[in-house]
Amino acid sequence: MVLEGTIAEYIVKLEPAIYRKYILHNDTSKPMLYIQLKKALYGTTQKALLFWKLLSVTLIEWGLTNNPYYQFVENNMINR
């Protein structure tokens, strides 16, 4: 997996003695850090989005409404 830009810089700041030597720069001088994962990361963002969509649909079925200002907030009126 490749970490680019700010996230690569943050990782190096955590342990510079370990990670500084592994930082590379691409054509635009953006820092890149190649890492090896111990577990699969595939699909985690998609699963989180699918969970939120299912939860959102369920909350709407229960009578809640979408908040016009915050995408991930549902509103419910109780006793006016």
The pLDDT tens digits of the residues spanning 14-52 come to 889 988 999 998 888 899 999 888 877 777 778 888 888
Q: pTM for the whole thing?
A: 0.47
Total structural domains within the chain? 2
Same domain, 30 and 48: no
Cross-strand pairs, 74: 66
| Mean model confidence pLDDT for the chain | 86
Same domain, 50 and 69: yes
Look up the domain containing 22 and give its range.
2-34
| Residue 71, in any domain of the structure | yes
- Alpha-carbon separation of residue 70 from 11, 18, 73, 79 (angstroms): 31, 40, 6, 23
| Residue 11, in any domain of the structure | yes
| Residue 28, in any domain of the structure | yes
- What is the share, in percent, of the chain residues with pLDDT greater than 90? 9
* 65 phi and psi angles, rounded to 5 deg: -125, 155
What residues contact residue 74 under an 8 Å CB cut-off, 6+ apart?
A: 56, 59, 60, 64, 65, 66, 67
Same domain, 28 and 6: yes
- Alpha-carbon separation of residue 67 from 49, 51, 75, 77 (angstroms): 18, 18, 6, 12
